[in-house]
Amino acid sequence: MEIHIPSLDHIHEAATSFIEAIGDARIIAFYGKMGAGKTTFIKAVCENLGVTDVINSPTFAIINEYMDGEGQPIYHFDFYRIKKAQEVLDIGFEDYIYSGCLCLMEWPEYIEELLPEETVKVKIEENLDGSRTIVLPPSHQ
């Protein structure tokens, strides 16, 4: 499945479609080049889920926790600065990932060996015209 985002004006519509597409999935890994829009799209998804906190990339903190509109935690990870998988385990990654809460991960390729089998691997592609395409695996169509 692909979700096209022609411009930032349409990002919340795309986030709604994405939320519907992932259904009950709780572990979502976002792949894309630097500047592809991973953080921007995650922000839109969180806003659509009722998060009112400031949403930004946890580049230095590794993880940010937000509360959705129903008071449930959403965990936002950024693994860009991770050097070894052990660093992620040391922050209690497994506790977060198996909590049943929504986990949204940027730069998951740095911890690929730690991702559970049920991880939904999503690609964000920047198109030549500046639009973005969100690509979900076939099992989430």
What type of residue sits at position 32?
A: G
Task: Identify the residue with better confidence: 72 or 57.
Answer: 72
pLDDT above 70 covers a percentage of the chain that reads 99
> Domains (ranges, CATH) in the chain?
25-123 (3.40.50.300)
Distance CA(103)–CA(60), nearest Å, equals 17
| pLDDT-derived band at 57, boundaries 50, 70, 90 | confident
Q: What is the pLDDT of residue 140?
A: 55
For the segment 40-54, the average pLDDT, to the nearest whole number, is: 95
Q: What is the pTM of this model?
A: 0.93
| Torsion sign, CA atoms 107, 113, 115, 119 | positive
For the segment 119-124, the average pLDDT, to the nearest whole number, is: 97
